[in-house]
Amino acid sequence: MSFILKSKEPHCLSELNAVPTNTYDDLKGDCQKETRALLHLDQKGLCAYCQRKFISNVFIEHWIPQSASPELQLKYSNYLGVCSGKLYINENEGTFNVFCSVSKGSRTITFNPLDESHFETLSYNEANQIASSSSKIDSDLNDLLNLNFNILCKLRQDSFERYLKNILQVARSMKLEKLEVLQKAKADQSKDPNEFVHYTVYRLNQLIDLHSS
C-alpha cells in the first residue's frame, strides 16, 4: 500500500552518473528540479519516511548514505523524496522538533520505504504512535526518524479525522452505506492517497472491521 513504485531514472541523471568524476554536488539546476519532481510524482506527494504531504520543497535523501556508498550518489534508485524534517513547537520562539531524514542524518537505516514487507510490520497504538513488530525497524522509527513526538502524532490523527469527516459527509449526501464508503476510501488510497497513507489505511481497516461484524 505505502510502497513506492519508482519510475525510470531521469535521463539527465544517468548522463551525470556516466561521468566518473561527477559527485552529488553536480546534481543542480534543471536536472535537480526534474529529479525532485519525479520523486514527488512517484511518491504521490508524500514524504517517504513520515508520509507528511510535501508543502514546499522535496528534499533528496540518499537511502544508503553517501558516505557508505559513494558510487550511488547519482543513482535515482537510491533516492527518496523527504520533507523538511522540522515541525515548529512555537514559531515565534523559533523552537522546533527535528525528525524524519534530518533526525536520521547520515546514519544507516533498516526501514526501507520501497519494501512493502516492512510496512506489513507496522501498527499504531491509541496515542497514534507508530510501531513495528521488527525491533530493528521499531528502533529506526523512534531513534533514527523520531516519528512519535506528540505534535506529529496529533497531525496524523487530525489529518485522518478531517479525511473521514469529509468522506462520511459525501456518503450521507449521496445516501451511501457507510461500509461501502469506507471500502471505497481504502481502495482509493493506492491512486490518490491521503496524507499519512499507511496510518489512513490502518484506521480505515479498523472501521471496516467494526462495521462488518
Q: Report the interface residues with Zn ion, using CB under 5 A.
A: 47, 49-50, 83, 100
Least distance between Zn ion and beta carbon 180 (Å): 33
Pick between residue 58 and residue 83 the one whose CB is nearest to Zn ion: 83
87/208 with CB nearer Zn ion: 87
Residue 131 DSSP symbol? E
Query: How far, rounded to the nearest angstrom, does the alpha carbon of residue 59 sit from its chain's CA centroid?
Result: 12
Read off φ and ψ for residue 96, nearest 5 degrees: -145, 160
Nearer to Zn ion, 50 or 171 (CB): 50
User: Shortest Cβ distance from residue 38 to Zn ion (Å)?
Assistant: 18
Indicate the residue among 57 and 206 with the shorter CB distance to Zn ion: 57
What is the residue-wise DSSP string for 62-112? ESS-TTT-GGGTT-GGGEEEE---EEEEETTTTEEEE-HHHHHTT---S--
Nearest-approach distance from CB 152 to Zn ion, in angstroms: 9
CB of 145 to Zn ion, least distance (A): 8
Distance CA 121, CA 115 (A): 11
